[in-house]
Amino acid sequence: MEINENKKSKTYIMAENKKNKEIKFVFKVRDEMISNNIDEKVIKQYIEEEYKKIINEYNEKIIKYNEKQSKQNKNQNKLDKIKRNKEIEIILKNKYCLEEKGYNSEYIKKYVDRQYNEINKKYNYSVNLPNIDFID
């Protein structure tokens, strides 16, 4: 599991707290079993089974949380793409309006490029277009 140690989500913290609490309980039961002279093999088997169960529950919660986050990120990416496309359409409409009114084509090109770059920065969208040389 990849967790940023500086900032953990509430789900991670709650899952870790529950895991630690259950492990402490297992150790208390182990100590009680030892005080009642129960066979060490039985104690060891009990601890291993409980520990596996606790770790599996913890991992299931973390996986479920990560899947939920992934799904939310995908949905947000789709919404961002739709918003970005709408903003680009507005730029194109503005471009055509400026062309119809007869503004300088160099001015229009600079305006469109600047607005397009601002939109790409806003949505963290990078375009790496190769330099293409056209041969006549």
pLDDT per residue as tens digits for the range 12-55: 899 999 999 999 999 999 999 999 988 999 999 999 999 999 99
**Lowest mean pLDDT segment, chosen from 48-52, 106-110, 124-128:** 124-128
Domain assignment of residue 58, yes or no: yes
Q: How many domains does the chain have?
A: 1
> Does residue 128 lie in a domain region?
no
pLDDT at 91 over 80: yes
CA–CA gap between residue 132 and residue 54 (Å, rounded): 59
Exposed/middle/buried for residue 22 (C-beta within 10 Å: 0-12, 13-18, 19+): middle
Tokens of 48: 């291993």
Query: Does 82 fall in a domain?
Result: yes
Assigned domain for 105 exists: yes
Closest among 117, 119, 123 to 76, alpha carbons compared: 123
**Is the residue at 134 inside a domain?**
no
Residue 3 lies in a domain: no
The domain in which residue 25 lies consists of 10-122
Establish if 133 belongs to a structural domain: no
Mean pLDDT, residues 73-91: 88
Answer yes or no: is 129 within a domain. Answer: no
Mean of the per-residue pLDDT values of the chain = 85
Percentage of residues in the chain having pLDDT higher than 90: 40
User: Stretch 1-21: mean pLDDT, rounded?
Assistant: 78
